[in-house]
Structure 1
C-alpha cells in the first residue's frame, strides 16, 4: 500500500510486509521511507501550511467532509484494521466511529478569543493560532483512535501534518489518508512509513514545528531527544501501569464487570487498561473468584474476523513474548495463574488467553512493569496508606481508580494518587472528545482532546490594541 505525499500516492509499496497477527499471513506491504522521502513529505506539509492556516471556516468545512468520507468507507477500513491489528471486527468498527466522534466535535467547535481587558483606552485578548507542521507518530494498539486524537485537533487548529504509523499497523492509516485525499487539500495530510528510524527522522526534521507521540516511555525519551535541538513543541502520551484500588466497602456486583472489561479489552493492549488490582485481604477470594468467572464467560479468543470472537491475538511476537515472560516469572515465584476464556479456531498467531494471577506481590515484575497484555495481577493489601505511597513512588502516572460505597472517602483517596486521570467507581473508557487526556511523570506530558487538546495544537497569541481616539 502506498503513502500519500502532497496529495499524490508515492512509493512502490513493496518494502516491508505487514502480517495478520492471527493467521501470520501477509496482508500487504509498505515502503520503508528514506531520509529523502521523509524530507519530501515534510516539505509538502510546509508548502500547504499558509493556505490551510488562513481560513478557519474552510477548515471546518473540510473536516465535515472528512466525516462523510469516513462513514462511506467504514466497513473497508474496519476490516483492514482488524486484519493488521488483530482486534475483533466489531471493536475495529467502534474504533473508527470513536475517531469520527472526535472529528465531528472539532469540526463543530467555533473559534474563540479570551478577553483579558477591555477598558476605554485599550483592549487585550488572546487567540490560538496554528503552529505549523506537526509530526504525528502513532502506536499499534489503537492506530485509528489515537491518530484521531492527534490529527483532528491539529487540522482544526490550522496545522498541516505528517503521520508516521506503527510499522506493524500502517495499512488502515494509509488507506484512511488515501480516501481523505478526496476532500483534503494536497499536502495537508501526508504519511511516511518504515521503522522507528523513520519516526526519528520526522521528529528531528528542522521544518517540523511540533511532534505528537504515543508509545512506550523508552521510545518517548528517544523522540524527545530527537526533537530537542529544534526546541520543538511536544505532546508525549507514554506508558502506564494503572492501579484499581478496591476499598473494604466496595460494591463488587458493580465493580467486577467493569474491572474485567477494563483489564482485558483489546487483549489488554490499552494504555489506560487496569493493569493491577489491589484488594483488602478479606476480599481476595471473592474478587479472584468473581473476576475469573466473569472473564471465563465473556471472552472467546480467536481471529478478529470470526463471528462471536471477543478477544483477538496480541499484535506481535515481541508483545506475546513479553507478557508470557511476566506470567511465567510470577508463576515461578508462587503466584496462582488462572487462564480463562474459550479458544476457537486453529490459527497459528500470537494468541494468549485472559489470565488472572493471585498471590502476587506488588514488587514482582508482573505488577511493577507495564505488561500491556491480557494478564491481570491481584495484590492483597493490609495498609491502605502504605499502598498509596508505594504506588506514588513508581515511575508511571497515567490513570488510577478507587472503588467504594463511601464516595467522598473514595474521592479523597483518588486525589492522592499521582496520575493524570483519577476515577471513582469506574475506570477510563473510550476517548471522549470533550475530556482532556494525558499523564504525569513517566507517562508523559501535554494533553489531547477537548479545548485543552486544541490549545496544545496551537500557539497562544496576545493581541493588545491601544485606542488613540
Structure 2
C-alpha cells in the first residue's frame, strides 16, 4: 500500500470506527493493492445519528450552503493531483480520464452552488397569500457505482446538500478509496456530519436502505439491485431516486457521412471502456451503409491503445472488476457461438489484469444476449435494418429506456424519429451530449425512477409544503 493510500484509510481520518477491512484490487494487475475500512452496524448507527444532528443547523442557512459548495468545488480542484492516481489505481481508467472526472465533480458542485431557485408564490394580494415551499427531507442515503465514483457521487452530494439535507454516502466496494479521499478533502469545508463517507462490502448497502434514519435513498447502479432498493425503501415509504441500467441504441440512417461520424459514434460506445450507463450499446445501421460503418468502427478499434491507466498514451484501461470481466467474456463467447463475427477483438488480452480487446461484432441480430442485455464493456454489436419504422420498433423492444441517438445528414428528419424513441434522452448526431448539470437525467421503464441534475434533481431532494393564509402585511 502506498503512503498516500494509507493516509486515506487511516483510522484517525475517518468519521467512523471500522470493523476490520476489505481488499481493493487494481484491475490493471488483478492484484490487491490496498484495504478499505469495513463499517459495522453500530458505527453506521452513529454515522446516521451524527448526520441527523447536523441536519438541524445545516438546513437553516441557504447562503452558507451555497458558499460551502463553492468551497468544496475549489478544494477538489486544488487536490486533483492527489485524487487522480487513487481513482486510476482502483477504477482502471487512464489518468487523463480520471482528471476529467475530478473536474466534472467540481463542476457539478459549482453548478448547484450558483443555481437560482425562485420562490413559488401562487398568490400574494389583498385577498390571500399562498406559497409552495420546498423543504429538505432530512438525512439522505446515497449509494454510488464503480464506473464514475467521484462524478456520480457529486450528482448526489451537490443537490442534496444545496437543498438542506445531510448525506451519508456509500461508494462501491470496488472503488472505495477515491471517494474516501474526496470525503477527506471536503472535511475542511463542510461542517461535521453534513457529508459522511462509509465503505464496506454487502450487506452495507442493504443496511443503509433499511435504516430508520434516512428519509430518501438515491441509488445509482444495476436494475436488479435497484429493484431491491425500491422494495426495501417502500417498507417505511422512503423517497427514492433510482438511476439504473441502459441498453442504449444508436440508429444510423442511410444518409450519413460514415467517415464524418465514425469517431464520435465509436467513442460514444467505448468511452470508459463501455462502462457507462448511457453508452451506445447497440447500433442499428441502414443496410446501405452498414458494411461501411462496420469497417470504419473496426478500423478505429484496432488502433486504440489499451493499457494500464498510468501508461502514457493509454486510451482505454482494464474492465473494472473480475465479475464484470467474466460477464463481458461470456456475452461475447455466446454471440460468437450464435453466428456473430468479431471484426476486431473478440477476446481478452493475454496479460495480467482485466483487459479485453475493443470488439466490433457483425452478423448479429436481436435475440442474442449481447444485443438484448446491457454488456457494460468494450463491445459493440452493429445490426442492419432496411425500414426506419422497423429500426425504431427494434430500438424500443427493450425493457430499458435510458438514452438513445439518431444519426442523419438531415437534422429535421432525425428529430422527427427521435420523438418516437422511448427513452429519457435522445440526442441527434451525438450520444449523451445532453448529460449536463443543468439538464434532467433519468430513464424510462427499467432504467430508473425520478431524475438527477438541474433544478429537477434538486427538487427530488425536497418535499413540498403549501403555506396559505390571509394577506401578508404590505
Q: 2:419 matched to 1:415?
A: yes
Query: Which of 379, 385, 394 is equivalent to 1:381?
Result: 385
**Conserved 8 A contact 1:271-1:372:** yes
Secondary structure at 2:289's aligned position in 1? helix
CA distance in 2, matches of 1:157, 1:19: 36
**Conserved 8 A contact 1:6-1:190:** no
Task: Tell me what 1:91 maps to.
Answer: 97
Task: Tell me what 1:400 maps to.
Answer: 404
Residues 6 and 223 of structure 1: CA distance in aligned 2, closer, same or farther (over 3 Å) = farther
Q: 2:220 matched to 1:218?
A: no
Q: Which runs of 5+ in 2 are unaligned?
A: 1-5
Q: 2:367 matched to 1:358?
A: no
Secondary structure at 1:190's aligned position in 2? strand
Query: Which of 165, 171, 174 is equivalent to 2:171?
Result: 165
Query: Which of 290, 308, 314 is equivalent to 1:309?
Result: 314
**Conserved 8 A contact 1:272-1:399:** yes
Residues 420 and 285 of structure 1: CA distance in aligned 2, closer, same or farther (over 3 Å) = same
Q: Which runs of 5+ in 1 are unaligned?
A: none
Q: How does 1:433-452 map to 2 (within 5 A)?
A: 433-452=437-456
**Conserved 8 A contact 2:124-2:472:** no
CA distance in 1, matches of 2:242, 2:142: 11
Residues 84 and 167 of structure 1: CA distance in aligned 2, closer, same or farther (over 3 Å) = same
Displacement of 1:50: 0.8
CA distance in 2, matches of 1:5, 1:19: 20
Q: 2:66 matched to 1:60?
A: yes
Task: Tell me what 2:463 maps to.
Answer: 459
Task: Tell me what 1:147 maps to.
Answer: 153
Residues 409 and 468 of structure 1: CA distance in aligned 2, closer, same or farther (over 3 Å) = closer
Task: Tell me what 2:324 maps to.
Answer: 319
Residues 11 and 52 of structure 1: CA distance in aligned 2, closer, same or farther (over 3 Å) = same
Task: Tell me what 2:301 maps to.
Answer: 295
**Conserved 8 A contact 1:4-1:178:** no
CA distance in 1, matches of 2:212, 2:342: 50
Secondary structure at 2:437's aligned position in 1? coil
CA distance in 2, matches of 1:175, 1:154: 20
CA distance in 2, matches of 1:100, 1:431: 15
Task: Tell me what 1:188 maps to.
Answer: 194
CA distance in 2, matches of 1:48, 1:448: 24
Residues 223 and 230 of structure 1: CA distance in aligned 2, closer, same or farther (over 3 Å) = same
Q: How does 1:162-311 map to 2 (within 5 A)?
A: 162-297=168-303, 299-311=304-316
Deviations 1:369-423 (A, max 9, x none): 0000000000011232123223323100001111112222211111111100011
CA distance in 2, matches of 1:20, 1:153: 31
Q: 2:436 matched to 1:432?
A: yes
Residues 373 and 394 of structure 1: CA distance in aligned 2, closer, same or farther (over 3 Å) = same
Displacement of 1:347: 5.4
**Conserved 8 A contact 1:49-1:133:** yes
CA distance in 1, matches of 2:277, 2:10: 29
**Conserved 8 A contact 1:21-1:314:** yes
Q: How does 1:96-115 map to 2 (within 5 A)?
A: 96-115=102-121
Displacement of 1:340: 5.0
Task: Tell me what 2:3 maps to.
Answer: none
What is the RMSD computed on CA atoms of the aligned residues? 2.1
Structure 2 length normalisation: TM-score?
0.94
Structure 1 length normalisation: TM-score?
0.95
CA distance in 2, matches of 1:216, 1:104: 28
